[in-house]
Structure 1
């Protein structure tokens, strides 16, 4: 009886807190500003990296001090497009079908159809004004002179684009089609190209030369985005309607192009300068909120789209593993985690994430709850009092209660992916569905996926015949992140039952088309748990 009374008392306390939080939200819905950095590592922020961080990040640190930081926050994918897809839709990117065909780099086609429900659609349906500023990288449909697939040679830059952020629920938008090292190097406001796109330019990292606006300068992009964000904030502050603003920075992703005032400012070279420049953007945007008199009723969240690329560093040219040169001097962009961008290890997937919400979130909070940025849709829906349908945000789970009580747990499991292998979190356990780092290509993390698969096949004794045989411990990795946060010791052989249980849970999540409660949904394509290279099946 005593146990039952204690359980009841605890439930009443939790319910009371939840009712208080919801009532405060309902009384005056907050403005919401989300700032997403590009390739910013966990260890690039002092509040997260601690002694392993040699860059000053006062604005991100202040946000953590005034609000709450999350130590176990993840993106769903360790590369830009699928990570941003999951954020924008609340749906795992692996569930989507083939993207609309487009050209290279920033000429990429639509990553999902116009009918897809997005953050912009959600907020607009809830009576919010919506704005998007920064890197888009989710595809556009451009006007071409010949009616064929868009590309550098046939895009008509004198005509408006046909489909962009404004078709996904954003009332106002000012954006780059891709990353700062991906042509075309020109802004789009609404659907109209800005300036005369008649030049050919390229930047330091990869020297990708392509169409550019005559007045486009790489070192002015961050300041331009901050000014545009400020203009949106001040214009909306004059109206009673709350607003949602998504600000997607282009730093510290290559090219490493800090504003002149940040050159030489850090202790570790130009990469650190660019990180400091990105950090300053947080301060600039928060100052705009304060100057507009609306900071007290604005929720601000800041995160990164995935871990750092090891090809960034002190040299402007993208150079494999040059990030390790900074590590020798004590700066670890990935923090204490193993791996980098593109990999299935924590360094590519665990990100700095913090939020401030005056009067609701207590200052100095720290949450160890497992969350994914795919959870933002459901969380913001709860905060804004917007009801999602059963098919909307099918992989998004609200962590609103954690904002009030940081010691609460959130989700038990989460799908996180490298470019060549999936991983599945279950509490402190992490299952990687494939040998090696889950990355390949020029900028892989050791061990390269293909090399690891060849080694695993030798251990297995032959090439596997089907996906069922891939479920052998030879082809997976299992880590306990509580005991082994650096993912140094694969314990799959000694934990076969746990490995099989986690794999079964992941396969069910795939089949159900969702990870939240509700009727099963369909994936847009056939999805397998394992993604081995083609040579694995050769007998």
Structure 2
């Protein structure tokens, strides 16, 4: 009993945005319609399957989404540029559907890479970025605009990683694992910044940051103090952007795999509080046998960024101290200074991993 023509609440307009154009979730999740502000642009009256089958608008096609997002972004820049020049700035958040599944490069981009549809789709993302940059230039606001380009996780196996590797492209670079894993290949992502007159072109930073640091950074940029109940794990990296940082911006950083396994970074050390990948690469939880594997994985990512040597047995004190730090962060409900906060859900420090052999043995025999 879903009203696909109804007004949408608790969405972007209820979180501070003036206007919204997008889709309801990832492009592999129905309903497949565009949403403008609070209303679908057409009612989902048919069923389509771009990845998962579900309700869709009759004219909605997955292949059109990236070009449409690009057009909408370019148009918004044009609409807001005059006011921006007069002192009314704007914030544009442009999360792309590419190169996520479904992998659907536009016809004019198919075959461009000479490798695969996924590589073609990635090239089309480059084109989208170029269109945005060109719009800023054409409207005369490029020199007063901060641009951040980043990604949400490492490369997905849906990209057909062996095919990319055969063509000489290593999507995880030197890092182990990929999307969903606790390993660096699941979490090391591009983070590019252009800010004329503020960020020196061609510079690089070795600061440890996470995307959750964007909220504190933006607040810092605007001279706004976050309330104690917001951005509990966010640290401003504005000094790193401006080149005024004189030491580490944060002393630890927590990440998670898709099954909820934790890892904590502290300086050069990374402690994974799980025996395997916690994700989709071997050893996979519930798929591969973890018996005989060390309970924890400790890596010196300064000398071993590929996480090839587990040092937990050689440094038990380091493991104990970082585990205790993780326990303290969970207990406090935050990793930054401030009052303790309640966690939204109960948190398990160590995720139980079912033994696939025992699981299979427990399954009823087929007759």
TM-score of the superposed pair, with normalisation by structure 1: 0.63
Q: Does structure 1 residue 400 correspond to structure 2 residue 247?
A: no
C-alpha deviation, 1:366, in angstroms: 0.7
Contact 1:434 1:453 in 2 (8 A): no
Distance in 1 (CA, whole Å) between partners of 2:350 and 2:339 is: 25
Q: Does structure 1 residue 245 correspond to structure 2 residue 96?
A: no
The correspondence for 2:162, drawn from 294, 317, 324, is: 324
The residue number in structure 2 matching 1:166 is: 13
The residue number in structure 1 matching 2:362 is: none
Contact 2:77 2:135 in 1 (8 A): yes
Q: Secondary structure at the match of 1:419?
A: coil
Q: Secondary structure at the match of 2:320?
A: helix
Q: Structure 1 534/326 Cα, relative in aligned 2: closer, same or farther at 3 Å?
A: closer
Q: Secondary structure at the match of 1:367?
A: coil
Q: Secondary structure at the match of 2:95?
A: strand
The residue number in structure 1 matching 2:296 is: 476
The residue number in structure 1 matching 2:179 is: 341
The residue number in structure 1 matching 2:222 is: 384
The correspondence for 2:314, drawn from 457, 473, 494, is: 494
Distance in 2 (CA, whole Å) between partners of 1:394 and 1:245 is: 24
Contact 1:303 1:352 in 2 (8 A): yes
Q: Does structure 1 residue 414 correspond to structure 2 residue 218?
A: no
Distance in 1 (CA, whole Å) between partners of 2:171 and 2:245 is: 27
The correspondence for 1:511, drawn from 320, 326, 331, is: 331
- Superposition pairs for residues 66-81 of structure 1, below 5 Å? none
The residue number in structure 1 matching 2:68 is: 224
Q: Secondary structure at the match of 1:371?
A: coil
Q: CA RMSD in A?
A: 1.9
The residue number in structure 2 matching 1:308 is: 155
The residue number in structure 1 matching 2:365 is: none
The residue number in structure 2 matching 1:431 is: 271
Contact 1:367 1:406 in 2 (8 A): no
Task: Considering fraction of residues, name the structure with more helix.
Answer: 1
Q: Structure 1 418/372 Cα, relative in aligned 2: closer, same or farther at 3 Å?
A: same
The residue number in structure 1 matching 2:32 is: 185
The residue number in structure 2 matching 1:214 is: 58
Distance in 2 (CA, whole Å) between partners of 1:249 and 1:406 is: 32
Structure ranking higher on relative contact order (CA contacts 8 Å, 6+ apart)? 1
The residue number in structure 2 matching 1:520 is: 340
C-alpha deviation, 1:406, in angstroms: 7.6
The correspondence for 1:369, drawn from 189, 204, 207, is: 207
The residue number in structure 2 matching 1:12 is: none
Contact 2:239 2:245 in 1 (8 A): no
Distance in 1 (CA, whole Å) between partners of 2:318 and 2:186 is: 24
Unaligned 5+ residue runs, structure 1? 1-153, 313-321, 460-473
- Superposition pairs for residues 8-47 of structure 1, below 5 Å? none
C-alpha deviation, 1:451, in angstroms: 5.2
Distance in 2 (CA, whole Å) between partners of 1:500 and 1:452 is: 26
Contact 2:182 2:256 in 1 (8 A): yes
- Superposition pairs for residues 289-304 of structure 1, below 5 Å? 289-304=136-151
Contact 1:369 1:407 in 2 (8 A): no
Q: Structure 1 333/406 Cα, relative in aligned 2: closer, same or farther at 3 Å?
A: farther
Distance in 2 (CA, whole Å) between partners of 1:256 and 1:335 is: 21
Q: Secondary structure at the match of 1:483?
A: coil
The residue number in structure 1 matching 2:284 is: 448
Q: Secondary structure at the match of 1:284?
A: helix
Distance in 1 (CA, whole Å) between partners of 2:252 and 2:9 is: 39
C-alpha deviation, 1:502, in angstroms: 0.6
Contact 1:434 1:532 in 2 (8 A): no
Distance in 2 (CA, whole Å) between partners of 1:218 and 1:528 is: 38
C-alpha deviation, 1:407, in angstroms: 7.0
- Superposition pairs for residues 65-144 of structure 1, below 5 Å? none
Distance in 2 (CA, whole Å) between partners of 1:535 and 1:250 is: 36
Distance in 1 (CA, whole Å) between partners of 2:245 and 2:306 is: 23
Distance in 2 (CA, whole Å) between partners of 1:348 and 1:167 is: 31
